[in-house]
């Protein structure tokens, strides 16, 4: 694996761990696609730093487990805003 890809994977993991960021948040911060973030964390990072990969994966799993709640809250907020505007 190329050095810059390994460095990017480590940087992404650090960002995700530090900010408890979602894949979308990390993708926006690094100006790369969500697919690249996911592949870097779930595949490439394992060959570079297993400990860091486990920590980052744990946060991504937590985010995945709670995303339905965030989505529901966003929908609720949307309709509350619409109701206030009327």
Q: What pLDDT digit, counting tens, does each position of 30-47 carry?
A: 999 999 999 999 999 999
Give the separation between CA 14 and CA 8, rounded to whole angstroms: 10
Q: What are phi and psi of 2, to 5 degrees?
A: -70, 150
pLDDT in tens, 46-85: 999 999 999 999 999 998 898 888 888 889 999 999 998 8
Q: What is the pLDDT of residue 67?
A: 82
Query: Is the entire prediction scored with pTM above 0.85?
Result: no
- Distance separating the N- and C-terminal Cα atoms of the chain: 56
Cα–Cα separations (whole angstroms), residue 8 to 18, 20, 24, 44, 49: 15, 17, 16, 10, 12
Q: What is the pLDDT of residue 8?
A: 95
């Amino acid at each position: 694996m190329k050095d810059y890809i390994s460095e990017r994977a480590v940087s992404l993991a650090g960002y995700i761990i530090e900010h408890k960021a979602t894949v979308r948040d990390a993708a926006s911060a690094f100006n790369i696609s969500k697919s690249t973030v996911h592949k870097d964390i779930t595949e490439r990072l394992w060959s570079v730093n297993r400990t860091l990969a486990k920590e980052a994966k744990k946060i991504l799993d937590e985010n995945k487990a709670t995303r339905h709640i965030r989505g529901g809250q966003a929908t609720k907020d949307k309709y509350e805003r619409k109701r206030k505007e009327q």
